[in-house]
Structure 1
């Protein structure tokens, strides 16, 4: 191997000018986030938990089904809530397909001690807790410390939504500003806790912020032009009833920006990693070559992510789609109806932001790596965590022959054999 590829040499690092520029941009974004948060910071958190979910004097109890009468629809249940243990009757649920089995754990509401209990919901804590434990264990087993960082970052991001976003919206703050502050702040926590403070993470962060800005600009127009929500959903009507200061169109825009955050982050961190791995494998590539090769990966990622978003909506809204399909209504009218239009706009605007974020992130990464960036800034971490993928790519790149001409695009050809 040539001296230029010796493993004894220290890996190239980002030059001082690049590092200063990157962190200056991040500091600028954070300054804008801090100013936005200060302007929209909630004056009170009293709204949280202030409304009673039950009727006056009613209470929620836990129970276990003992028997179910198919003729009347009534059930006999054992109330298991401490201090209220007794065998009681539960009134019919009112849904023909809802059949109870002995042993089912349910939540019931007692309005009057002398009247049958009212079915509220099934008790789902045990299976959901089991799924959560399996999920956490798998993430930690496969992703190691980065998985732990992602879980911690996710918890902190949800804390931002619960203790800033929701109270700020109830407090009458501007929904678009709250959406941008929430997205940029949560993204900062998620990325840097999960992936560390390095140039690759910063590239993904800046690319995602650029995509979010485009999403906000296009979404502002789309929500207004399409009158989303022109006919509010039941949840939006209830919110307006609880607090008339909430702008439903602004709420739709805020939700649109937060909804696109996960997909944007997925695309940008993958594109940044792709450019870094290309830089490790081929240190001789310049910015334009890194960009063009990175975009080959990016185009595939765009295609797969766009239909991922679409099918995620179809799967989540299948009952609504089936209901709309029953009625004799033109497809164009059904798609633009108030029930579906909001999700269609959310999908299209999010996809536009995604498509724009890919070349922007790839360009930032290509400039950093191609102009002397830290193409192998986490090589030591890969060795520490047993990750041989990056090292294998680098070794293969060192030993593979240089490819020129037409084959530089298509790869080396297989040798021909004579019959």
Structure 2
């Protein structure tokens, strides 16, 4: 038989249905009985090319980008990165030595020197006879039986570092007995008469302390309580934090921790010294925020267009936060003089703008929450756009539905975080005996409210902004036409 009349390949024809079957041509010679019919399902289906080639041949989510998206995003981010680098050059700190503030200065004018010590014994003693702060080579001993009415607690501490390592000193803690009396300055004490008075630390045997050193006229050294030793506990919690993040988020969590360390490095080695050099706190905060966002987002979420869209949304929202912060500080007449730390800073270096410092704090404070919202919106929009048949507008609407739920929960996080930080201040104002309106409009509370309002508005606006950017970057997938058997 010639090739022209060759039978077609069974793989190139669809299985015939009973209604479509036609009798075969009569055989040229007798043949054996036909083999038993097989089920149509056992035959190979016909190969067809009627579908569209829109599938991704790479692993992971489908990112179908418009032709203009990649160069546009890369161009915008390149411009912002160059502007950030130029700003960092102009604002780069000199890292010169600065005078030490009075509250952190020792008697000789230098920085406060501290040594480590451990509490090894405690006893009741008279406040004026224990020789608190002096150094002795022998462990001081106190007779509890003869000093049961003493108004102070004597804590014997062994010095474990410094020039007097191995010697001893005594720390005196006044108890409520020292506040007994009925004079005009007397106030009601709380707790047992043997408890330390309010504002005094409560030592226990085994406590690890840091003691400050000060020189005395006779050439000796006197020690006093400075702080607790927290190095080992902090290291433990830091390790636990890293282990928990990496255990749940694996390599992405590790990259996020590295990005966090990079962010702290920028704040410590660039932002703070630059502000102390007299540069604009707002400009320093904006440059620092931009320099933080680039490595943090790409380290945590990888180099992709969805990460880039989240970065664009975060930077745009950050610009809105700067404008909102300026308007809030101006309209509310916030000066920044209500806090003790800002007052000390103003006395230390009057050239620093406290209102600018407030603005910088607003900007830095919004970074974390904006990053959380924008990356979620970008990922949700890209995932929705990867569903066949979804248009850009469908992806935008779906992303907005996700964003509304996210806003509702994140606003609570923002408000409660600020309320928790200001809790001691709120307690003081609660017992101040002033009208509620006066307390709310006071600068100390108004600053926290303004911080909350600015962060909340920037958070709300970042959702449609980032969702729109992500929806504009994707190319929806056309739905595959239905195939007939």
Match of 1:45 in 2: 95
Q: 1:47 to 1:255 in 2, by over 3 A?
A: farther
Question: Rg bigger for which structure?
Answer: 2
Match of 2:453 in 1: 348
CA contact (8 A) 2:209 2:225 kept: yes
Task: Report matched runs for 1:152-171 at 5 Å.
Answer: 152-171=258-277
In structure 1, distance between residues paired with 2:57 and 2:379: 22
Q: Matched residue of 2:474: which SS? A: helix
Encode CA deviations 1:321-376: one digit per residue, 9 max, x unaligned.
11111122222221221222111111111111111111100111112224579xxx
- Structure 2 contact 119–206 (Cα < 8 Å) conserved: yes
Offset at residue 314 of structure 1 (A): 1.6
1:79 corresponds to 2:159:
yes
Q: CA deviation at 1:8?
A: 7.9
Flag the 1:238–1:230 CA change in 2: closer, same or farther, 3 A: closer
**CA RMSD, 1 decimal:** 2.6
Between the aligned partners of 2:328 and 2:382, the Cα distance in structure 1 is 36
Are 2:64 and 2:474, in contact at CA under 8 Å, matched by a contact in 1?
A: no
Unaligned 5+ segments in structure 2 are 1-49, 125-150, 176-195, 481-485
Greater RCO (Cα-Cα under 8 Å, separation 6 or more): 1
1:197 alignment partner, SS class: coil
Provide the aligned length of Structure 1 versus Structure 2. 372
Cα pair 1:285 1:370 within 8 Å, conserved: no
Classify 1:289/1:140 alpha carbon distance in 2 versus 1 (closer, same or farther; 3 Å).
Answer: same
Contact 2:117 2:159 in 1 (8 A): yes
Contact 1:211–1:356 under 8 Å retained in 2 = yes
In the TM superposition, what whole-angstrom CA distance separates every residue of 1:239-267 from its partner, at most 9, and x where no partner exists?
22222210000011011101111110011
- Distance of 1:372 and 1:253 partners within structure 2: 44
- Tell me the distance in 2 between the aligned counterparts of 1:108 and 1:233: 27
Task: For 1:232 and 1:318, locate their aligned partners in 2 and report how far apart those are by CA, in whole Å.
Answer: 16
**Which has the larger share of helix?**
1
Instruction: Give the match for residue 96 of structure 1.
Output: 197
Given the superposition, is the C-alpha separation of residues 102 and 372 from structure 1 closer, same or farther in structure 2, using an over 3 Å criterion?
Answer: same
Which residue in 1 is equivalent to 2:301? 195
Distance in 2 (alpha carbons) for counterparts of 1:148 and 1:116: 46
Whole-angstrom CA distance in 2 between matches of 1:49 and 1:80: 30
**C-alpha displacement of 1:93:** 7.1
Is 2:373 the counterpart of 1:272? Answer: no
Choose which of 118, 132, 135 in structure 2 pairs with 1:64: 118
Deviation at 1:67, TM superposition (A): 2.3
The residue number in structure 2 matching 1:29 is 80
| Matched residue, 2:364 | 258
Taking structure 1 as the reference length, the TM-score comes to 0.82
CA gap 1:60/1:93 in 2 versus in 1, 3 angstroms = farther
Checking the alignment, whether the CA contact within 8 Å between 1:14 and 1:372 is kept in structure 2 is: no
Q: Which residue of 2 aligns with 1:323?
A: 428
Question: 5+ unaligned residues in a row in structure 1: which ranges?
Answer: 374-396, 399-419
Among 341, 358, 361, the residue aligned to 1:235: 341
Within 2, Cα distance between the matches of 1:62 and 1:46? 29
TM-score by length of 2: 0.71
Match of 2:70 among 19, 24, 37: 19
